Structure 1
Amino acid sequence: MLWSALLPSPAHSPAPRTEAAQRALATWALQFTPRVALVDEAVLMEVQASVRLFGGKRALRDRVLGEGREVGVAQLAWAPNGLAALALARAGIENGFKRELDALLDTLPMATLSATHPHRLTLEHIGCRTLGDVRALPRGGMARRFDQHLLKALDQAYGLAPEVHEWVTLPEHFEERLELMARVEQAPALLFGARRLLLVLSGWLAARRAGVTAFTLKWAHDADARARARAARSPSARPLIARPRCIVRAAMAYTIWGCEPGPVYRGRSGAGQHAALHAAVSSPLPDAARHGLSHELGLVLERLSARLGPQRVLRPVLCEDHRPEWMCRWQLAALPLPRHGAPTTGLPQPAFLLPVPLRLLVREHRPLYQGELVLLLGPQRVEGGWWDRVGDEDRMRNVVRDYWVALSPQAGVVWVFQTRLDESACWFLHGHFA
């Protein structure tokens, strides 16, 4: 497993501001994985299933690191489980895979594991300074003296017990608030806060697979108590449509100073209009050809054959043949299609055929494939090919087979056949049902 722990900017600010930063960071992290959890002051992500989607571990790490700094990540770490990643992040260590996890965690201060905090004084009095010291204590004595939570947390951090987290749910509507570190009186200085809000909005949109057509930035002013009350009732707000960063930069002066003069101390962003994004189509065929218009498809195949060469543009053709290996063949796209299709069969046909049938072991006249097969449907005899010569060789592709739909204890429903031309009948696996 691959886990990442993200720590928001350090807590020299009030607790409500830290909690807001943690929630914003969790919303941003949902674009990488739906498995995002809030644990103590950190945000944990389980990203094992997302590695291939983002181009590998290195590319995923670079993106999380690059964008994370801009949304307020002070420290991040990677480890095989969530609690280990959190402990490494607190210790300032990013890579939890450079050494064995046990050896790496044993050297960390025991304060990096939250379960040790209630027992810190007792553990220090008996000489514990690191997680390795705590782990070396007798488990029986720890179970009697301390609560079970400490032992459970140690086992989870070292990968000896599974973790259970409550995953963050994606909000239906986006509205995020950002408390600025100081009063801002110059419009360019607000670009930092605006960019952070836009990055969180981008993460929310990516998690929802949606795009935004309009959003609103609101700035709360702080000239004096009267202006603050007036700003709370009617903060500066302008809807911004498309190209968020460019429009924010171009319209910043008008948006901020057009309604309420004075310093700005808070920013808020909301998505007004959003819609689902359609998946990008990478097919070289135009829309009309993809929707089955034969005249458009013919023109496209003709152009592709002229540009790429006729030998590189092929189309599948169904053949009137009961033998599964030769029910379909590939021919040049420039050639006309034959006026026949595949023959109808009695038994269900599998979705996946093996390129070469796999010979099966037989025990007491029963074929074996990940257990003894149970024959469900069949037999269906397939016979033919006495006319089909193999190239210039003096042999034919003649087959006589009895096909069965069978059930494997481990592999599920499969397609097998028994030969009839050999001296001794043999069983082969030929396909899997989806």
Structure 2
Amino acid sequence: MLWAALRLPAEATAPPTDALRGLSLWALQFTPRVALRDEAVVMELASSVRLFGGKRALRDRITAESKELGVVAVAWAPNSIAGLALARAGVESGFRPGLTEVLDRLPMQTLTAGRSHLVTLSQLGCQTLGDLRRLPRGGLVRRFDSSLLSALDQAYGLRPEAHEWLSLPDTFEARLELPFRVEVAPALLYGARRLLLQLCGWLAARHAGTTAIRLRWMHDAMRPRSADPGDELIVRTATATRDLEHLCRLLAENLAKITLQAPAGDLVLEALDVQPLDERSASLLPDVVHEGETLALVLERIAARLGPDKVLRPVLNADHRVEWMQHWQPASQPLPRRPLPATDLPQPTRLFPEPIRLAMSGPRPMYQGVLQLLTGPHRIEGGWWHRVEGEDGPCALQLQRDYWLALSPHAGALWVFQTRLDDEWAWYLHGTFA
């Protein structure tokens, strides 16, 4: 299990506010297993690692983007309770050197269930979770409520957790209270970017994009009588998108043309038009991981784009003659189901288009030195059924060869054969090994 705990400042989440809700919406783009736990959003990411480029890439992205949403600490652990405890203590990972060793050193206040018993536990000499874990379990249950021991076991992975997973809302509307009063419209982009980051996460979870967004701002309560309670700006795009930087640039250009009637203190962002986003790769070979296509579908689509004769794939034949063990066919055609020839002799990785006749040193063939025959002979006979047009009419490609695995002093392992049907026996080089 791989859990991430994203902790917001305690004052921003008691009671739960728009900041916690917005963070959870953003987190749903990575996994549907997102839950709220006190002042943090926790999410289970084990099944999402491969989809986002591995653990390191996923960690870097979550850490970087969550900071823009006000997250003060990110921790990784095998369960959510341990992750929250680590985030409160400022410890990033609970995997090294081990979860038990890391948790044993954490102070008592990092465990939510222990916060109401801090005075009593302190009088018992419990300053860390390790001190609490070493107390008799029966005494803990009798003296404190059962939730303390249950939470302790869950943190150490001795008892399963139960979560109430968050669901993705059908519409997007996010609110943000600005940390200061904004008097010029371009400065609204500071808070609007955080809302746009939440919007892009929500769109990614829905596999969708937007062509229209509305940014509303509320003026200060001490505004002049001539000023309206608030104002709004609608930004539209030509095509559906969820590109954060593109939306920020469009919003910045439009805000530069606006003059605020009074200082603004609150922002609200809405997605007006949401459309399914058909993501396509710009490369010739599509990204199978993100598009979810099999290799056969990819080859069929490329063949339709370039022509059936431009995309070929190798197909094995049920033929023991080396030259005809493989042929190329259009990728859109189905693969034939034929029994394949079996041999115990190693097969070359490179086969020459035409065999090269070798020089002889007495009875032994030569290629960059006299060859040493290692394994063989592997006799191949046949081909009477394979007829081609010759100068004198149709003729059969009848072969009789003895193949050997040979060793050259300078060229390494070679694939050679000796003819048996010719008037004069000869040796040929037919392939090499990588």
Instruction: Provide TM-score, normalisation by structure 2.
Output: 0.67
Matched, 1:218 2:216: yes
Structure 2 match to 1:247: 250
Give the secondary-structure state (helix, strand or coil) at the position aligned to 1:201: helix
1:255-283 CA distances to partner (integer Å, 9 max, x unpaired)?
A: x52xx511010111111111112242455
1:142-168 CA distances to partner (integer Å, 9 max, x unpaired)?
A: 111122211111111001111111111
Change beyond 3 A, Cα 1:214–1:139: same
Q: Which amino acid aligns with 1:272?
A: L
Equivalent runs, 1:223-372 vs 2, <5 Å: 224=222, 230-231=228-229, 235-241=231-237, 243-254=246-257, 256-257=258-259, 261-281=261-281, 283-284=284-285, 290=301, 296-298=307-309, 300-301=310-311, 314-317=312-315, 330-332=326-328, 342=336
Give the secondary-structure state (helix, strand or coil) at the position aligned to 2:51: coil
Give the secondary-structure state (helix, strand or coil) at the position aligned to 1:134: helix
Cα deviation for residue 187 of structure 1 reads: 2.9
Structure 1 match to 2:357: none
CA contact (8 A) 1:315 1:330 kept: no
CA contact (8 A) 2:227 2:262 kept: no
Matched, 1:2 2:2: yes
CA contact (8 A) 1:77 1:85 kept: yes
CA distance in 2 between counterparts of 1:317 and 1:118 reads 70
Identical amino acids, percent of aligned pairs: 48
Cα deviation for residue 192 of structure 1 reads: 1.2
Q: Which amino acid aligns with 2:250?
A: I
Q: 2:166 aligns with which of 162, 165, 168?
A: 168
Cα deviation for residue 73 of structure 1 reads: 0.7
1:73-118 CA distances to partner (integer Å, 9 max, x unpaired)?
A: 1111111111111000001111222221111111111110111122
CA contact (8 A) 1:10 1:74 kept: no
Structure 2 match to 1:77: 75
Structure 2 match to 1:209: 207
Structure 1 match to 2:119: 121
CA contact (8 A) 2:381 2:399 kept: no
Cα deviation for residue 239 of structure 1 reads: 3.0
CA distance in 1 between counterparts of 2:265 and 2:180 reads 7
Gaps of 5+ in 1: 302-313, 323-327, 346-352, 357-384, 395-434
CA distance in 1 between counterparts of 2:198 and 2:101 reads 36
CA contact (8 A) 1:221 1:228 kept: no
Cα deviation for residue 141 of structure 1 reads: 0.8
CA distance in 2 between counterparts of 1:294 and 1:184 reads 53
1:193-250 CA distances to partner (integer Å, 9 max, x unpaired)?
A: 011011111111111111111111111111626659942xx53232343631111111
Change beyond 3 A, Cα 1:296–1:154: same
Structure 2 match to 1:424: none
Cα deviation for residue 9 of structure 1 reads: 3.3
Change beyond 3 A, Cα 1:151–1:223: closer
Cα deviation for residue 330 of structure 1 reads: 4.8
CA distance in 2 between counterparts of 1:392 and 1:164 reads 70
CA distance in 1 between counterparts of 2:400 and 2:109 reads 75
CA contact (8 A) 2:9 2:39 kept: no
CA distance in 2 between counterparts of 1:114 and 1:168 reads 21
Q: Which amino acid aligns with 2:253?
A: A
Give the secondary-structure state (helix, strand or coil) at the position aligned to 1:183: strand
CA distance in 1 between counterparts of 2:299 and 2:75 reads 49
Gaps of 5+ in 2: 287-296, 344-379, 384-397, 404-434
Give the secondary-structure state (helix, strand or coil) at the position aligned to 2:270: strand
Cα deviation for residue 387 of structure 1 reads: 6.1
CA contact (8 A) 2:382 2:400 kept: no
Structure 1 match to 2:108: 110
CA contact (8 A) 2:316 2:327 kept: no
Structure 1 match to 2:352: none
Give the secondary-structure state (helix, strand or coil) at the position aligned to 1:280: coil
Q: Which amino acid aligns with 1:110?
A: M
Q: Which amino acid aligns with 2:86?
A: L
Structure 2 match to 1:65: 63
Give the secondary-structure state (helix, strand or coil) at the position aligned to 1:73: coil
Structure 2 match to 1:311: none
Cα deviation for residue 54 of structure 1 reads: 1.3
CA distance in 2 between counterparts of 1:293 and 1:52 reads 30
CA distance in 2 between counterparts of 1:25 and 1:294 reads 42
1:317-362 CA distances to partner (integer Å, 9 max, x unpaired)?
A: 587x79xxxxx975235xx89x9984799xxxxxxx9x99xxxxxx
CA distance in 1 between counterparts of 2:149 and 2:250 reads 54
Change beyond 3 A, Cα 1:387–1:150: farther
CA distance in 1 between counterparts of 2:8 and 2:79 reads 19
Tell me the matched-pair count: 333
Q: 2:34 aligns with which of 33, 36, 42?
A: 36
CA distance in 2 between counterparts of 1:119 and 1:161 reads 21
Structure 2 match to 1:137: 135
CA contact (8 A) 1:36 1:44 kept: yes
Root-mean-square deviation (Å): 3.8
CA distance in 2 between counterparts of 1:288 and 1:36 reads 37
Change beyond 3 A, Cα 1:110–1:289: closer
